[in-house]
Chain A
Amino acid sequence: MFAWGPTIARASRSRLFQVPSLIALVALVIMAALTSPTASDGSHIFFEIGNLTDILRQVSVIGIIALGMTLVILTGGIDLSVGSVLALSTALVASLLTRNWVPGVPALQMALAIAAAVLACGLAGALNGLVVARLQVQPFIVTLASMFGVRGLAKWFTANENIDIGFGKDVAAQFAGIFRDKTVVIGSYVAAAILFWILLSKTVFGRHVRAIGDNPTASIYAGLPILKTQLWVYSLTGLLAGFAGVLYAAENHQGNPNAGIAYELDAIAAVVIGGTRLSGGQGTIAGTIIGTLIMGVLTNILRLNNIDSNVEMMVKAVIIVLAVAVQRKGRS
């Protein structure tokens, strides 16, 4: 079906690899149209604006993490620590919001709390990047270690208890009200997606990210700033996970040191379904967004039809394998 594939120049081939995932997404939407239960007026519940925006809101947290994960995987790396980093962020932001340390200036306290949580997570990411780049330890091992370490830090910081964000009128409750809002959550995801799409496809930095993963040896000979690029990629991933944590804390009205367990795997799945090669070099932000939406739409259809949520996991398994198999075929 994609017989024109080989004739396309290598540089633009990665664009092609998102085609199968896009077809899968379209197919899922058609399925949704065919199977969607109907409201009392005969309209499809799936296509209600409320439902479609539900999907976007629900995928936003994983979607934001997956943007960073795309960069990391493009460099040939992996980041297993993002779920733990998210938990740390929820704990930090909730703690800074529920303490009275900037009396009388709620907006300032809110801004500082968010900035501190996100920056701390950026630092955790930078530490990952530093060890990967400087000590040349495999990213899997480095981030496996920080997955435990950062989770431990979040648990220690909170004494493994949730920090509740109340429903009163204080700054913490105001924060939750703003960042739980559907428009804000979806808007954040869209903004981050556009930012990272530009970063990856329109900047020198983006070219370096791909080049390092595509051919590490050539990148060394070409004198690319490998250390700096890796450091930034892991830092950005930490920042994004931190920001996702801020949204998570607002959504759940709490800082939760046990939040985000296995989120790294959901994010990796979204990236891989979106056509990014796990060994690096090839992949796009658009593909990852499609991968994220595939997971979200799939969950939504199955839930609307009240299919057992355990079945959902099995279907996801099949989709992941199929997505990768299709992309291998497209490449050969």
Chain B
Amino acid sequence: MKAWKIFVLAASLALMGCGQNGGGQKLVAFSQANNAEPYRAAQKSLMEKLFSMTADVKLVTSDAQQDNSKQIAQIETFIRQKPSVLIVAPNERAALTAVMGKAMEAGIPVICLERDIVQPNYTTYIRMDNRAIGRMAGQFIVDQLTKKYGAPKGNVVFLRGLLGVEAEINRDGGAREILGRYPDIHIVADPVANWIQAEAHDRMTEVLRVQPRIDLVYGHNDPVAIGAYLAAKELGRDKEMFFTGVDGLGGPSGGIRKVMDGVLAATFVYPLGVKEAVEVGQKILRDPGYRPPKVITLDSVMVTPDNAADLYKKLTVAGE
């Protein structure tokens, strides 16, 4: 009886999408794993900004909300639309490997952004060196503790991200590699906070109840380091320890700002990789003979109170 109403409603909503498919424009599709993470939201806004500078490119994006199956489905639908370039920030390596292979088979150039996949089913992989970041963090921990005690010793807490993903494995492993050389530095707790600030808050509160003395917290991303800071502050113990993170995003809510505010002692810039992805994408669009490098590795920078203000200016996306 009211079925026609469903029809009208569906019609109006579906029509919202019409008229967007402008003729002659080159389609670039970006499949993001989870836009709820600030790092990934920053990737999306920078990508939109950079692609909007060329009028003949139409960027469409999707957000898989941290769900592998959803991202696979979204990429399948993108493949049907035959974009000129497909950029994928995979949610998890094993799950996305096959569908990215399908895109390659369909003749679509694929740029794999940040997280790697199991088989090289991409035209270019833009990677950030998490191992190097882990080592830098490890060295920072050693230096900081040496400054405090005159010798490399003390109690450290790690707050881990999503287990099994490359960033977590290497940010963790790189730091442990360095700290392993110093027997008097103890990792007294390493709970999993899944990259989420609220989870870090809870896990750190438990750690604080158990551990009477903590010298430094190494959060494997900035949100979990900030979550840990908030937990310590609540219990009046924030002055007892240093907090360090990874990501070093610009903007008022990013990690660089937190270093300027004195919340974090340091963070390590985890490059967005978007500038490079857009460069490669644009070249693929414009030059049929262009063969991009298979892997592009980006370097990190340590952010401390000394260089934070400069980097903040440099890495804040205008309009953010």
Main secondary structure of the interface of B (DSSP, over half): helix
B20 touches which of A30, A298, A306 (Cβ 8 Å): A306
Q: Cβ of B14: which chain A residues have Cβ within 8 Å of it? A: 31-32, 34-35, 301-302, 305, 307
A35 touches which of B3, B7, B18, B95 (Cβ 8 Å): B18
Query: Given A45-B81, A319-B6 in contact, is the A162-B94 Cβ separation under 8 Å?
Result: yes
| Shortest distance from the beta carbon of A92 to any chain B beta carbon, whole Å | 17
Query: Given A252-B94, A253-B94, A303-B77 in contact, is the A315-B69 Cβ separation under 8 Å?
Result: no
Query: Given A54-B77, A160-B192, A303-B77 in contact, is the A20-B1 Cβ separation under 8 Å?
Result: yes
Interface contact tally, CB-CB below 8 A: 145
Restricting to A144-170, which residues have a CB under 8 Å from any CB of B?
160-162, 164-167
Stretch at the interface among A108-116, A194-202, A231-239, A324-332: A324-332
Restricting to B11-58, which residues have a CB under 8 Å from any CB of A?
11, 13-18, 20-21
A51 touches which of B10, B13, B80 (Cβ 8 Å): B80
Kindly state the interface size class of chain B when it binds its partner.
Answer: 35 or more
C-alpha gap A302/B73 in the complex (Å): 12
- Whether B300 sits at the interface, judged by CB under 8 Å, is no
Give the number of residues in A that approach B within 8 Å (Cβ atoms).
Answer: 61
C-alpha gap A325/B6 in the complex (Å): 11
| Shortest distance from the beta carbon of B84 to any chain A beta carbon, whole Å | 12
C-alpha gap A311/B16 in the complex (Å): 11
B1, A1: Cβ atoms closer than 8 Å:
yes
B13, A48: Cβ atoms closer than 8 Å:
no
Query: Given A61-B69, A167-B118, A301-B14 in contact, is the A253-B5 Cβ separation under 8 Å?
Result: no
- Whether A23 sits at the interface, judged by CB under 8 Å, is yes
| Shortest distance from the beta carbon of B71 to any chain A beta carbon, whole Å | 10
C-alpha gap A34/B10 in the complex (Å): 12
Main secondary structure of the interface of A (DSSP, over half): helix
A306, B94: Cβ atoms closer than 8 Å:
no
Query: Given A35-B15, A322-B2 in contact, is the A253-B118 Cβ separation under 8 Å?
Result: yes
- Interface flags, A7-33, vs B, CB<8A=1, else 0: 000000000000010011001101110
A329, B1: Cβ atoms closer than 8 Å:
yes
- In the complex, which residue of chain B has the Cβ closest to the Cβ of A168? B118
- Whether A219 sits at the interface, judged by CB under 8 Å, is no
Query: Given A23-B3, A311-B13, A326-B2 in contact, is the A254-B92 Cβ separation under 8 Å?
Result: yes
- Interface flags, B56-98, vs A, CB<8A=1, else 0: 0000111101001110111011001110000000001011011
21 contacts between A and B (CB under 8 A): A27-B3, A27-B4, A34-B11, A35-B14, A35-B15, A35-B18, A37-B81, A45-B80, A45-B81, A54-B76, A166-B94, A302-B14, A303-B77, A306-B17, A307-B13, A307-B16, A307-B17, A309-B63, A309-B70, A326-B1, A326-B2
Chain B: residues with CB nearer than 8 A to chain A? 1-7, 9-11, 13-18, 20-21, 60-63, 65, 68-70, 72-74, 76-77, 80-82, 92, 94-95, 97-98, 118-119, 163-164, 192
